[in-house]
Structure 1
Amino acid sequence: MRQLKSAVLAAALLGSCLQSHAAATSSAALGPLTFTLFDLNPLDDIGPSVTFTNLVDVEFGSAVFANVFQSDPNASDSQFAGGVTDFDPVGIYVNTGLAWSMAAVGGSGEASGATLHVSGHAAGTTSTVPFSFHSSNYSASVYAPYFFNAVGFTVSANTLLVITAESTVSAGVSSAFDPSSSYQIELADAETMLYVIGPSASGNSGAPQTSSDAHSLDIGNVIVYGDGCTSSYCYGPNAASETRTLSVSFLNATGGNLAGTLQASATVNGTSFMQAVPEPETYAMMLGGLVVVAQLARRRSAC
């Protein structure tokens, strides 16, 4: 949990440093996971229930990935962390100065109440040469569990299981440029997903039942028409944010137990070709943020 809190703090500190110039950003949040049971036969004297069981012995349960890259100055970082259990809280954060990303699973470690969060920021390049095509980019993803067939749930007889989670996806690009004088395109995307699969509701050898729900957002620069553009048009900033509830279901229409599998996930990606040269005070803020990250790392190693 200390690692998770450190990741969020570091992201906030360095994110505030990079916001002083244009950037591609995106985030995705899913949760908390909520499980609702409906008794389809109240007369059978069987109370509706759902239990979770590990089906396969794997090295880790929940999983988080974070990657960043910048071409000028050249730097990259890539990290992975896995939780002990399928919904175990875990978090990571990576940074190269012009780009950062983070991924985290939150909650108590149980499926009910689990949350997923990913975010990233890419602030282009320090190059001032037009059409140099230098860039920075990020990606981050979180899975609970990572191995789709590793965790199973068992639903009691004559029961409908409905799994819901609030999803919020946000993405934005802030570069503005004339395409005849430079190439400073920015792209950002975010997605969340719930997926359930299991045998047919009747428990026979019919087609398996699957249920999935996804929420995604893709953002790029918008075309802006104006007299100040050499080619009659320029590219401008763009941003959007959406929130809705994801919902999947699993039906057991038999007189006995029926098992299925579940996976929740969230991902973000972004790329910035923006020619960004931070002012001296921005570098000072960034250095201060890096010092804090180093201190947090030393404290974790001392615990």
Structure 2
Amino acid sequence: MKWLSLALALVAPSQAYIRFGCATLSVQRLDPVVEPGRLPSAHLHQIVGGNAFNASMTGDIGEKATCTTCSFSEDFSNYWTAVLYFKARNGTYKRVPQYPNALLGSLTGGMTVYYLQQDFNSNGKTKITSFKPGFRMTVGSPTSTKGGNPGLKYTCLKDIMTRGSETDDFPKQPCAAGIMAIHHFPACWDGKNLDSPNHQDHMYNTVKGMFQNAGPCPASHPVRMPQVAYETMWNTTQFNDKSLWPADGSQPFVWSFDDSKGYGTHGDYLFGWKGDALQRAMDSTSLVSNNLKTQSVAEANKCALKTTINEPIDGWLDKLPGAGGM
């Protein structure tokens, strides 16, 4: 696949990670990790990955899905975050469109996903243990009212290749090429639990952000797993006219749970790689030479999920889907 080869070829010098795109699978109010079985969930999510996604997910997801929106055809995992909206002066909302990373071809929206062994420059000497069937986790919380997690950031894009200059909250000025939301998950596992009541305590966060070496795992969580990260590109450019922004000059974007600061940004992960595919990749010295199976952009874009929750999410809305409730 020429587009995938190009993307993976740019992970030099040591190819210590895999990086790939996943097109949008669905945008609806479903959350099988935080609100399993609830139809609908409290707020809207953008979801990518395997088509087994539903309100109640148990067992080996890699055996249940029949297609995936991700470029690696053996990855039936699901990855999701909240959805970004623009709030106009008159109080109405409009969903902000997504666009794919420039290196990943013409995928339909979605996000870029990373699995790192140590950092961009080294595989390290620690064995990386793949997640297990049934594993799930979250990072961040919609109830957070302050920043500080080095793995949860925003970048105001000067162009689609901008990196760095990360902030804890939404950019306060119009961004020439949109806003990138960044989610780095913890990579240290307790070695026992596939989940925990808050979906975070079975993991330990040593993340330093900016794809730096996260450091050693503590004795309480001794198993080093892949460092998972998401990058979502939100195309805010149609809203760059500041005459559309609040009269007080404050920034106009909100997450789908009505967070205008951005501190409540969060992500969910549900493992679903087929068989031992991810472990084989993590055991590879060069992750570019990992023998993972790929699919075309057209195949990734074709995979879709039927909408379970029928409600307006596009156009100008008087209120956010779910009325902004938690």
TM-score by length of 1: 0.24
Q: Report the structure, 1 or 2, having the larger strand content.
A: 1
Higher relative contact order (CA 8 A, sep 6+): 2
TM-score by length of 2: 0.23
Instruction: Report the structure number with the largest CA radius of gyration.
Output: 1
